[in-house]
Amino acid sequence: MNNMAKLKLILFIFIYFFSATLSNAESLNDPLQNFLKNLESLEVRFIQKLVNENGEELEKTEGVLYLQPPEKFYWHYQKPYSQKIISNGNILWIFDEDLEQVTVKNIDNRIDETPAGIILGNKSIQEHFVHLNMGVIDGYDWVELTPRNLEAQYKNIKMGFDGDKLGMMIITDNLEQTTRIDFSDFKKNITLSSSIFNFEVPNNVDIYDERK
């Protein structure tokens, strides 16, 4: 999987959890369900690292995420390059500033048909994942989710919580590469302008409109 496909996969895995329903929660004390409960909006900074099976760092990126469930988000990779992935709930824009190109999709067109993209929407977590509470490790309350789909491109997802805040997310793919995302400056249920989730295509960029 190339880096672009991996970034998209990680994005949709992450966004899925914010749009999942809570009706089938196994326990009110589950840290993931506690985090999702009453979530209306989110602003958070992140540092994302990709590490291979030998523990060698392959890539490091950082940026900011704004999110408004169920399907509005603004994911901005700011360093070392700039890429924006934005959805208003109907349309998805992927803007690669360095390449000066914008890809436009319908939000219901599952990007790259990844398992995470397929399950994006208001569906039960338990329907798609084996859910294991791992307990407190190094200060975080951990949850592990293993996809029920045997053809998934990732082996498992671990999420570490500090109370009702998401502190870390670790995704291991089938190549034994690990993506670790550390979150900071966590702001929950703040007022977000609707303009954040609508993208105005700049002049003089290539546009690839894949909407049908």
Asked whether 42 and 153 are in contact (CB, 8 A), the reply is no
pTM (predicted TM-score): 0.80
Q: Where are the domains of the chain?
A: 3-200
- In the prediction, which pLDDT does 121 show? 35
What's the CA gap between 199 and 208, in Å, rounded?
14
* Segment among 48-52, 94-98, 153-157, 183-187 with least mean pLDDT: 153-157
Task: For residue range 104-114, list pLDDT tens digits in order.
Answer: 988 754 433 33
Q: How, if at all, do strands 57-68 and 178-188 pair? A: unpaired
Task: For residue range 115-151, list pLDDT tens digits in order.
Answer: 333 323 345 667 777 888 999 999 999 999 888 877 7
What's the CA gap between 201 and 108, in Å, rounded?
20
Domain 3-200: CATH superfamily is Lipoprotein localisation LolA/LolB/LppX (2.50.20.10)
Q: List CB contacts of 174: < 8 A, sequence separation 6 or more.
A: 152, 153, 154, 155
Mean pLDDT, rounded, for 61-70: 87
Task: For residue range 146-195, list pLDDT tens digits in order.
Answer: 888 777 778 888 989 998 888 998 989 888 889 898 999 999 899 999 89
More confident residue, 48 or 22: 48
